[in-house]
Structure 1
Amino acid sequence: MTEISFENHIMKQFDDELEEIRTRLMEMGGKVEQQLKNAILSIHNGDSKLAQDVIEQEKFIDQMEKDLDDSCILVIARRQPAASDLRLVMAVTKAVNDLERIGDEAKKIANHSIILSEEDNKKSGYPEVRHIGASVSKMLSDALTAFARFDAEAAMKTFNQDVQIDLEYKTALRELMTYMMEDPKSITHVINILWVVRSLERIGDHTKNLCEQIVFVVQGKDIRHD
């Protein structure tokens, strides 16, 4: 496991500020992770109430992003961090943006969940949602764990999970298109499922970005275009 160890600073307050930023990022990550799980669960259970809760909670994620951005700007202005400290602050500003985008996608899934819950027991496409949803949820959980531990090796393993998710997404598209061709009456239903799996695929992409930031913090390497 490759981990980062920040040097102790002359001013303990600086250490405390960096730790607070990291802790709040993890809190935001946990909130977003739960939003994703609830959005997926609401589809499987036809639970419009749970879906509505996901939609209403999204505004708190937006506020967390704004607050963390403000804190990072303040640290840069006050402390003028360098080396690994600067990489951490820069990575957090990018990570909170990706987490907020994941929250947005979870909200989109919840919106489609409400529409699907109003249909008459049509379940075509739900296995695809369950399959790719489980993969994306695991990837996000693994990425957040790697960030909490500053584990670049684990981040790279998680980064590579996106390849499998992309394959699952393409498979789901083919299967959903088959549903529509076999039953034209299911087109509206399947289109909603298509939007759901599209959001899940995008969440995989944003999670991949989180992994890139972990490697950047720990190793100082930019792997975005590798």
Structure 2
Amino acid sequence: MSDKHLSSKFDADLNLLSSRLLEMGGLVESQIAYALEVLNEFDLALVDQVLEGEHRLNAMEIEIDEEVSNIIARRQPAARDLRLLVGTSKCITNLERAGDEARKIVKRMRRIHENSATLTVNIAEIKVSGEMALHILRRALDAFARMDTVAAARIVRDDEAIDNEFRAFVRKLVTYMTEDPRTISIGLDYLFIAKAIERIGDHATNIAEFVVYVVKGADVRHVSREQLERDALGS
């Protein structure tokens, strides 16, 4: 959070906003965890729970964004305070989109269950990348809560591991579909799921990048990983 202000009410507003963002982040984490349980255990009872949670996420995004706008209008913040508010708005957008990816995963798993029950595909890479994505999202939220730019830079580096798992799965999937055309349909469904997980990692990375933006004032969304790390360390 930003430094203390003369107005204790302003500090309270910012603290409440941070709490709401982390509350929304916790809900997104639960959504993704449920989606991974559906993926790992075919527990389709959780599908409706994820779909219902999506409605709450959409409402929270709107509520928090409105509060950001209200604070900006009332307080006319500058410098880091303004960056914090802008960063919060950007982060909740990424959280809502990560929740969207969880919804896509469970809906696709339900389709797989209905249409491809007799076919199997080894999805070890998807399961690994799913756990990685959930882990870095948790770390990104923790970095935002503590405004820890060093932790944020590590998240950007670790997201590459998810991308590597995704590419490995695509290569294996091509082999499956070439050797047995019957697996094409289910293979494409799992490819869709793998891409959704990769996108969750991307959204976590975006949140980490906004931590650097808030603290250092540097927009690192389109810079190299090396430059981001230099900016995060202030060198």
2:201 aligns with one of 204, 207, 222: 204
1:17 aligns with one of 13, 19, 37: 13
Structure 1 unmatched ranges of 5 or more:
none
2:49 aligns with one of 50, 53, 56: 53
Which whole-Å CA distance do the structure 1 matches of 2:118 and 2:217 have between them?
51
Which whole-Å CA distance do the structure 1 matches of 2:125 and 2:168 have between them?
9
Q: How many residues align?
A: 222
Q: Is the 8 A contact 1:47 1:114 kept in 2?
A: no
Which whole-Å CA distance do the structure 2 matches of 1:101 and 1:110 have between them?
15
Q: Is the 8 A contact 1:44 1:126 kept in 2?
A: no
Q: What SS is found at the alignment partner of 1:160?
A: helix
One-letter amino acid of the counterpart of residue 38, structure 1:
Y
Q: Is the 8 A contact 1:152 1:218 kept in 2?
A: yes
Which whole-Å CA distance do the structure 2 matches of 1:117 and 1:207 have between them?
29
* Alignment TM-score, normalising by the size of structure 1: 0.94
Shift of 1:81: 0.8
Deviations 1:31-63 (A, max 9, x none): 101101111111211111102211121010000
1:113 aligns with one of 104, 109, 113: 109
Shift of 1:100: 0.6
Structure 2 unmatched ranges of 5 or more:
224-235
1:58-77 paired onto structure 2 within 5 Å = 58-77=54-73
Question: Partner of 2:175 in structure 1?
Answer: 178
Confirm or deny that 1:38 pairs with 2:34. yes
Shift of 1:88: 0.5
Confirm or deny that 1:78 pairs with 2:74. yes
Which whole-Å CA distance do the structure 1 matches of 2:140 and 2:120 have between them?
31
What is the CA RMSD across the aligned residues, in angstroms?
1.2
Higher relative contact order (CA 8 A, sep 6+): 1
Over 6 Å off, 4+ runs: none
Deviations 1:167-205 (A, max 9, x none): 111111111111111221111111110000011111111
One-letter amino acid of the counterpart of residue 50, structure 2:
V
